[in-house]
Amino acid sequence: MAQINYLTRIEFGEGALSRLPEFLAELGIRRPLVATDAGLVASGVVGRVMALAGEGATVYDGTPPNPTEHAVIAAFDIYRSCGCDGVIGVGGGSSLDLAKAVRLMTEHEGPLEKYAAVNGGVSRIRKQTCPMIAVPTTAGTGSEVGRAAVIVTADGRKLGILSPHLLPDIALCDPELTYGLPPLLTAATGVDAISHCLETYMAPSFNPPADAIALAGLDYGLKAILRAVDDGRDLQARRDMMVCALHGALAFQKGLGAVHALSHPLGAIRGLALHHGTLNAVLMPAVLRFNRDVIGEKWDTLAQRMGGPPDTVIEGLSRRLGLPGGLAAMGVTEALVEQVAPAALKDHCHATNPRSAKVEDYLAIGREAL
């Protein structure tokens, strides 16, 4: 068992979940709200968590694939009515982000849009929030060590709420919880983690530690993702993918870029429920090509580590993983691309893309990714 202190505290290792009672006692949580989704309840994972969380624990299992303000309010109503005193987020990025937003609401009044980074919300978020433990069951978003909650707000926009005060007190990372993840979800969440490493490395701000973490995470992900998809019980592959997800999120404090600037508004399209990691996989090659001329020697560094031109490597990897070949295969039309391109300019990830993008650039990237 390793304890890591970087942005937040990480408890990492097979069987780490068994220590949940110890961590709850340490944080003074007696009546936790377990924020999760119905699939994890059906899988039995939530039952394991509840058995360890004590008699005072309460479950909210209505987290949608792209968490909404409506769902956050529903979860918070349960938190308040049951007298909860802390939050346990259990699941992928959607459940963990919803848990962070519930945590925010325990000491901050809505609506959530006023806390979005693009609305100047970072300074409005105070330190006073309830304690939280994040228990990831996928190796993708890295939300367990991220400062952001990405929520579809009441006005239909998918916005990033960012603050160091939203970092979970403890990220409880047990690779065993990912063993049963289906192959396609393993692939989609894994490429999400890889995209974080790639975008962070390309981001222009000066942060050598973040660059080093991103490159190391990329190595872990590329080495393990095919094995994790082919054999879901490959222990080393599952562990390495969880490390990749951790690295990507630890590093993306530096900033992301055009991939996420587009995938956020695409993920907010009502009626499609597009998976965030799959969107990132489809958009990544076009964004890599868009950025190539401005990232200089970083392109060569990536090509050397990835075994070929980064854009073609990602395209080939996505094909081998069975991911969609383009946005059109996911139900996205050119009209929808035209709709989300202006929204990408307003996303908090837009400002940290290495090459400044205009609406017409986002249109071109989206059309290329169709």
- pLDDT, residue 211, reads 94
In this structure, the answer to whether residues 157 and 214 fall within a common structural domain is no
In this structure, the answer to whether residues 274 and 202 fall within a common structural domain is yes
In this structure, the answer to whether residues 132 and 28 fall within a common structural domain is yes
In this structure, the answer to whether residues 224 and 172 fall within a common structural domain is no
Give the residue from 22, 50, 26 showing the smallest Cα distance to 36.
50
In this structure, the answer to whether residues 201 and 160 fall within a common structural domain is no
In this structure, the answer to whether residues 106 and 195 fall within a common structural domain is no
pLDDT average, residue stretch 83-103: 96
- pLDDT, residue 252, reads 86
Task: Give the predicted TM-score (pTM) of the model.
Answer: 0.92
pLDDT average, residue stretch 184-207: 94
Could you tell me the CATH number of the domain that includes residue 344? 1.20.1090.10
> Does residue 206 register a pLDDT over 90?
no
In this structure, the answer to whether residues 83 and 160 fall within a common structural domain is yes
% of the chain with per-residue pLDDT over 70: 98
CB 257 within 8 A of CB 352: yes
Per the structure, the complete domain to which residue 240 belongs is given by 182-369
End position of a domain, from candidates 130, 159, 177: 177
Please state, rounded to an integer, the average pLDDT across all residues of the chain.
Answer: 94
pLDDT band at residue 356 using 50, 70 and 90 as cut-offs: very high
pLDDT average, residue stretch 339-366: 95
Could you tell me the CATH number of the domain that includes residue 172? 3.40.50.1970
> Does residue 5 register a pLDDT over 70?
no
In this structure, the answer to whether residues 83 and 226 fall within a common structural domain is no
Which range among 1-5, 31-35, 226-230, 246-250 shows the weakest confidence by mean pLDDT?
1-5
In this structure, the answer to whether residues 265 and 364 fall within a common structural domain is yes
% of the chain with per-residue pLDDT over 90: 86
pLDDT band at residue 53 using 50, 70 and 90 as cut-offs: very high
- pLDDT, residue 7, reads 78
d(CA 369, CA 363): 10
CB 170 within 8 A of CB 133: yes
- pLDDT, residue 82, reads 97
In this structure, the answer to whether residues 209 and 144 fall within a common structural domain is no
In this structure, the answer to whether residues 135 and 207 fall within a common structural domain is no
Quick: pLDDT tens for 256-308.
Answer: 999 999 999 999 898 888 999 999 999 999 999 999 999 999 999 999 999 99
